[in-house]
Amino acid sequence: MMRPAWETDDAFARQAREARTPPVRLRDLGRSEYCETWQAMRAFTEARGPDTPDELWLVEHHPVFTQGQAGRGEHVHTPGAIRVVATDRGGQVTYHAPGQVVVYTLVDLRRTGFFVRELVRRIEEAVIETLASYGVAGFRVDGAPGVYVRIAGPLEEEAQRGAAGAADRIGGNPEEGPGFDPRFRDHAKIAALGIKVHRGCAYHGVALNVAMDLSPFSRIDPCGYPGLRATDLATLGVLAGRQAVGERLLERLCAQIFPD
């Protein structure tokens, strides 16, 4: 399994010479504007060749709503001062902000030998394994990419009673109004993902909520599902730093996407 360490140029070149296949390069971009990072991903994917190493980018974004290619305007209710960006990934609307781990998976699918659906499954599995390492049980919902957790309990009861601040700590509207999908009853989304494939190479990736202001999720229908709630590790009682969670997720992504 590849170590989740930041390679220097010299170490990267040595590893490339020794490996029979190009290594994976891990980059920590810190906090950056969404559009700047998106354009960098597109440029990287456009310029890469058959021998270009795959890359995983760890990043944190300033507040932004992003609409995927399937995005519909009615799923963005009151964005306020938060910018809405129409992007080229798959899926519907989601929210990025500080306190969230984002990993972009720039992967040559022709080299991995699997298709985008399998890449999505492996990314989800890496998130589930990361959550499990913190004692949190994550799971999939059929037909709704991403990772979810159960939220039935005292906080959910507070939200249903309309207790002050409870809905913000869950994120989203706790009421099962028009259009609510019963698959999400007692569930909240903790990780969202979307992928774009261009010339056999994937980019975009996954966002895992660690410790963030969840209230903006109530301004949208997350991932296009009215009433779907969002949560984070902090709300679930896990006090972990974004950097530590990000590096743990990188480790699991390497193991899932680039197994020995």
Torsion of CA 166, 125, 94, 158, to 10 degrees: -10
- SS3 call for 37: helix
Residue 218 one-letter amino acid: S
In which element (H, E) is residue 22 found? none
Residue 155 one-letter amino acid: L
- Report whether 4 contacts 11 (CB < 8 A): no
169 φ, ψ (degrees, to nearest 5): -75, -25
Beta strands 187-198 and 229-230, pairing class: parallel
Rounded to whole angstroms, how far apart are CA atoms 111 and 140? 26
How wide is the angle at C-alpha 259 spanned by C-alphas 150 and 111, nearest 5°?
110
- Report whether 185 contacts 225 (CB < 8 A): no
Quick one: tokens of 29? 């971009």
**Cβ neighbours of residue 11 closer than 8 Å, sequence gap 6 or more:** none
* Of 35, 201, 223, 254, catalytic: 223
Catalytic: 223? yes
218 φ, ψ (degrees, to nearest 5): -75, -10
Residue in this structure with the two tokens 């010479």, named with its chain if needed? 17
Give catalytic residues, as residue numbers. Answer: 223
